[in-house]
Amino acid sequence: MNVLTLAGDGIGPEIMIQAVNVLQAASNKFELGVMLEEGDLGGAAIDRTGLPLPDDTLAKARAADAVLLGAVGGPKWDTIERSIRPERGLLKIRSELGLFANLRVAKLYPQLVNASSIKPEIIQGLDLLIVRELTGGIYFGEPRGIRTLDNGEQQGYNTMVYKTSEIERIGKVAFDLARVRAKASGKAAKVCSVDKANVLEVTELWKQTMIQLQESDYTDVGLSHMYADNACMQLIKNPKQFDVMVTGNLFGDILSDEAAMLTGSIGMLPSASLDEHGKGLYEPCHGSAPDIAGQDKANPLATILSVAMMLRYTFQHEESAAAIEQAVSEVLDDGLRTGDIMDTDSSGLTLVGCQQMGEAVLAKLG
Ligand code: IPM
Ligand code: MG
């Protein structure tokens, strides 16, 4: 199995070191034969080549079985021409590799119940999956740009578009995963599709397509619909009403950050972005956090948990994935906390840096 690592910018390199150590340890322990290769993306790539996704990185990514990504972006590249900013590199690699299905699991580790800003009884036992469409919608729709109107005023514009086929394929991923999760939990399978069908035609088609898909192929899975604004509210009010949420690129971006905070910190949230064949790019949901970069303060757990997702979805090796998740849980049991997941009451807890957190997970993995 060949894995390409793209550490990226900001805290990317430091969290990547810890995640790679964990991946290598898991590979040795479970004899997975993981071969690692490095590449650059985002600001790091701009500095070397002038482009956020150089051709050699894309070629390596295509050749690899899976890609592990840190984070991209930072103030240094915020003022360069928009079309070659670091974030465009991330969007391009998602699109070029056809990674249309972004899975973001917001699962509360019981040890972190007091690290969240939400009351414990609201989030206890929380385990929800956001399935975000990742290669379409307003992120990629044309036309887009900033133009000058006849009166000299500037106007920014983007286009939100979804074809039936795009909606169907992400819908299938959500319904299929709802079935898998229901089997594991013993609860009924259910999907909540998030749209803004009261205003946007594009999401009216989204909603209709989800209804038709459920009626034709997934009558065993419950389907509900919610407007995106209400979904934001319900996620805070009663997040446990959800199991699988499926939505477009923009709403998924927003809802997944919100869901992350239910779990205490976005530093805990891993993600998988999959193509039609299960090939994937795995990355933490958080960004490059330039304010704490290079200070050994970052939480490496989201990236380490992204490694677990890689083993589960691309390598289909549940045992090693579960072992990593178990190791993370045990480290939290031991009271180790990076700053972002520290309780207000820190008694019995130990504040650790990125490296120490990574090494502790490694030690548990054995
Ligand atoms: C995410 C990020 C990206 C996105 C940015 C960095 C382009 O916020 O992965 O959620 O908007 O998709
Ligand atoms: Mg985001």
Confidence of residue 70 (pLDDT cuts 50, 70, 90): very high
* Nearest ligand to the CA atom of 271: 1
| pLDDT at site 170 | 98
Catalytic residues: 139, 196, 229, 253, 257
State whether the beta carbon of 327 lies less than 6 angstroms from ligand 1: no
Q: Which helix (H) or strand (E) holds 114?
A: none
Asked whether 329 and 320 are in contact (CB, 8 A), the reply is no
| pLDDT at site 344 | 79
What average pLDDT score do residues 262-277 get? 92
Looking at the chain, the number of H-run helices and the number of E-run strands are: 12, 14
What average pLDDT score do residues 325-334 get? 97
pLDDT in tens, 93-144: 999 999 999 999 999 999 999 888 899 999 999 999 999 999 999 999 999 9
Q: Show the domains of the chain with their CATH numbers.
A: 1-113+267-366 (3.40.718.10), 127-262 (3.40.718.10)
**Dist. CA 345–CA 338, nearest whole Å:** 14
pLDDT in tens, 39-61: 999 999 999 999 999 999 999 99
The residue among 11, 15, 28, 140 whose CA lies nearest residue 68 is 15
Confidence of residue 343 (pLDDT cuts 50, 70, 90): confident
Confidence of residue 309 (pLDDT cuts 50, 70, 90): very high
| pLDDT at site 270 | 95
**Dist. CA 347–CA 202, nearest whole Å:** 51
Report which DSSP code applies to 243. S
Torsion region of 287: left, alpha or beta (phi above 0 gives left; psi -120 to 50 gives alpha):
beta
- Flag whether pLDDT at 278 surpasses 90: no
Distance from Cα 253 to the centre of ligand 2, integer Å: 5
Identity of the highest mean pLDDT range in 168-177, 264-273, 338-347: 168-177
| pLDDT at site 361 | 98
Q: What is the DSSP string of 212-237?
A: HHHHHH-TTSEEEEEEHHHHHHHHHH
The residue among 121, 126, 131 whose CA lies nearest residue 106 is 126
| pLDDT at site 266 | 87
Confidence of residue 283 (pLDDT cuts 50, 70, 90): very high
State whether the beta carbon of 87 lies less than 6 angstroms from ligand 1: yes
The residue among 358, 283, 273, 290 whose CA lies nearest residue 44 is 290
Q: How many Å from the N-terminal Cα to the C-terminal Cα in the chain?
A: 22
Distance from Cα 252 to the centre of ligand 2, integer Å: 8
